[in-house]
Amino acid sequence: MSEESKKPPAPSSASPEASGRFSRRWFLQGVALSAGTAVLPGEGLLGGSAFAAPQAPARIGPEPVQIALSVNGKDYQVKVEPRVTLLNALRNYLNLGTNTPIDLTGTKRVCDRGSCGSCTVILDGKTVYSCSVLAVECQGKKITTVEGVAEGNQPHPIQQAFVECDGLMCGFCTPGFIVSSKALLDRNPHPTPTEIRRALNGNICRCGTYNRVFQAVELASIRMKVKGG
């Protein structure tokens, strides 16, 4: 293992490449883990509030571990087995064991194998397939889901444009397209048609709305330009 890979990554370097070099050692150094006692699944998943001081246990799991996820600017405590993907943590675990269920099911599970893009979220500024990232990898990172794209109660221009251009039909792939499009406009506010297609090549739509999705991204881009984007 190289010296470099022993260091915890700076948050800004969490690109797909960086997460591809994810090493368990620096993960364990940098992550706070719960006491790690065997807990029956579902038994007081948030019980105990045992968010222990940073330590380096020999291994994590297979028992559930308590982690903190920062989703759309809010921090959530969840207890998940290390094998739980970020996608499943968002969809199935955030609302467990609380009196005020958090319903973040906008992120969709479709292929569950990193092929279709329906589960796309923004992780520290870069799009990732949340089906292909473990929840435990995401501590300390900023996660933006489709629910976090709107600016307060105002729809993001990309959302407005998708509705106006009918860049959606059944809508099941739409959260992924919205997130990918938003990430594109964040890094390249005025993409060319080719750049739009390239940026959205990781998202599959079965109803067949692509052409209108392209229109929507162009429309949003123009509007953001007018607004001084």
Partner 1 sequence: MPNWPSERQLMGTKVPRVDGFKKVSGGAKYSYDINLPGLLYAMILRSPYAHCKIVSIDLGPAESMPGVKAVHLIKKPGDELHYAGDEIAAVAAMTEEVAEDALRAIKVKYQVLPHVSSEDQALKAGAPAARAGSADERGEKIEDAIKEAAAVHEGTYGCEVITHVCLETHGLVARWEGEELTAWASTQAVHGTGTALAQHFKIPKATCITNFMGGGFGSKFGPDIQGIVAAELAKKAGAPVKLLLNRAEEHNAAGNRPSAFAKVKAAVDKTGKLIAFDAETWGTGGHSRGAGFPLPYVYPVDNRRRKHTDCFINAGDNRAMRAPGHPQGSLVMDSLMDDLCHKFDPKLDPVEFRLRNLPSTVLRDIYTKELLLGAARIGWKENWHPRGDNAPGPWKRGLGVALGTWGGGPGDAQATCTLHGDGRVEVKCGTQDLGTGTTTVVPLVAAEILGLQIGDIAGSIGSSAFPPAGGSGGSTSCGGVSVAVAMACTKALAELFAKVAPKLECKPEDLQAEYGRVFVTGNLERGFTWKQACAVLGQQPITASADKKEGEKGMATSTVGGAQFADVSVDVETGRVRLNKIVAVADCGLVVNRLTCESQVLGGVIMGINYGLYEQRRLDPPTGLPVNPDMEFYLLAGAGDIPEIDVVLLDYPERGVIGIGEPPTIPTAAAISNAVANAIGVRVPVIPLTPRRVLEALEGKA
* Residue 109 lies near partner 1 (rule: CB under 8 A): yes
146 by DSSP, 3-state: which? helix
Closest C-alpha among 13, 140, 121 to residue 69: 140
107 binds partner 1 per the rule CB under 8 A:
yes
The residues, any chain, with a CB within 8 Å of residue 189's CB and separated by 6 or more, are 221, 224, 225, 229
Total residues at interface with partner 1 (CB under 8 A): 65
Per CB under 8 A, contacts with partner 1 among 23-52 are: 40-42
76 touching partner 1, by CB under 8 A? no
Question: Which long-range contacts (C-beta less than 8 Å, at least 24 apart) are formed by 15-20?
Answer: 15/126, 16/126, 16/128, 19/123, 19/128, 19/133, 19/137
Contact flag: residue 213 with partner 1 (CB under 8 A): yes
Residue 144 binds partner 1 (CB under 8 A) = no
Work out the end-to-end distance of the chain between its first and last CA atoms, rounded to an integer number of angstroms.
43
How many whole angstroms separate alpha carbon 206 and alpha carbon 115? Answer: 13
- Considering only 120, 174, 184, 191, the residue that binds partner 1 (CB under 8 A) is 174
Angstrom distance (rounded) from CA 47 to CA 31: 20
Smallest distance from partner 1 to CB 9, Å: 27
Binding pattern to partner 1, positions 80-99, x when CB under 8 A? Answer: -x-xx---x--xx--x----
Residues that bind partner 1 (CB under 8 A): 40-42, 81, 83-84, 88, 91-92, 95, 101, 103-116, 118, 145-147, 149-150, 155, 158-159, 162-164, 166, 168-175, 178, 196-198, 200-214
